[in-house]
Structure 1
């Protein structure tokens, strides 16, 4: 029965993507992530947080108020499957972005790591917690306008505090956005390979597989995003969109999407991702969109 449901879901994704690619639906139809003028619609909402994850969000608020307070924390954001309403108990992680009033300090990072550990231990509904830290000035900087700024404005849901992205301009799925969000695979690839080689336990290999697979699926999707003219955070749909434009690599990207959703300790799969799909994808991305602007 589970296999039948997965096959039906995959067929539904394939049909929606095929219709979208060939212009059956309009730009503003549900699932494209854009409004009628072609601008990103902020994904996620606190109203979409499902009942199993509501206590986690409450605990997160309490811990943020206790550890950071209004003097350090300008705005806290949720992102990922929990605010999108697609989180699966026991499989999904808790993703948080904190925009601090000043550049994060070692104390800020230590507090964030402590919160991650406490939340992960207290709530079996989540498979880990990740808290990203940044300063408000960084979010609003010209250098981050089409990366961190776009991410906070379009993919993050305000949880508490003042939404610092309210003054940012609207975004379209352009080549500039693609370049600045994922035009760094060629630079990150050696580091990812080093970390994969250093993984010694099945748990470490599983985590690395998830990290690498997610990066490749996101990069593959944004490679074709301007041509597709829409946005999705769904990994399976991202792989299908990519496959319509690069059919020769479609099966490898589908495998990456499966590994991103249900990772496992498979050294051969991890090697294929890092040394098979990734090098081609990095070269193609540079050829189509160019490299991401250097960061200090």
Structure 2
């Protein structure tokens, strides 16, 4: 892999591996594997890690654990409830993780033509196999193209109203912190993919992403650096969320549409 996250043939290299999991997080990963097998059994097609833990950059007590489950059939309400229970159980049991997130999809959805350059890319390049058959073997190689940019993050405008509602109804600092971390990360990733085709590579590093964005949009780099910092260390300050949701976010959504167009609609 070169300095731009690419394989020798110019395609985006898979960024994580189980042998990169920091020692402090190994018990969490082992427990997650066992709980997933026990809870989902034959309904599970495969399970994956993503984020800082399989990249080897997770910090005990500060980083969260991110999991994605691919089910043999489309997920039901019971499956989503089980995923929520798994999140809570792992978060309670392991102080080295600051939050656990479990995404649940049907394997057919992940392999569908509609998701080829969004969830398919996510599986093939950003997810690390934990259990079952690796769906990446049935997906193509990916390059840092405008198509990939459009389909991964061309729907930021759709997320803003829901985030504003959550910010307005947040009753605790913890709720605001969880929201600010998620919004900060999404803004940085959107800012990076806005300039990704011009840079010609891939990174999931928040700080590097903000700086690459800033090369093309210096007037917004201070805000993007704040988003990157909040993605690592969340903030309960309402002013931070206000800047994200009512200034940087709307501007970024409009600029993204102007440069790459809108993501293909989902049902």
State if a TM-score over 0.5 links the two structures: yes
Residues 1-296 of structure 1 aligned to structure 2 (within 5 Å): 29-30=2-3, 32-69=4-41, 71-296=42-267
Q: Distance in 2 between matches of 1:46 and 1:255?
A: 30
Residue by residue over 1:217-238, the C-alpha shift from the partner in whole angstroms, topping out at 9 and shown as x without a partner, is: 0100000000000111110000
Quote the RMSD (CA, aligned, Å): 0.9
* Superposed structure 1 runs of 4+ greater than 2 Å apart: none
State TM-score, norm by structure 2. 0.98
Per-residue deviation, 1:165: 2.2
Residue by residue over 1:251-277, the C-alpha shift from the partner in whole angstroms, topping out at 9 and shown as x without a partner, is: 111111111111111111110111111
Aligned residues: 267
Q: Distance in 1 between matches of 2:22 and 2:220?
A: 35
Give ranges in structure 1 of 5+ residues lacking alignment.
1-27
Q: Distance in 1 between matches of 2:2 and 2:151?
A: 26
Q: Distance in 1 between matches of 2:169 and 2:179?
A: 10
State TM-score, norm by structure 1. 0.89
Per-residue deviation, 1:29: 2.5
Q: Distance in 1 between matches of 2:66 and 2:201?
A: 23
Q: Distance in 1 between matches of 2:207 and 2:225?
A: 7
Give ranges in structure 2 of 5+ residues lacking alignment.
none
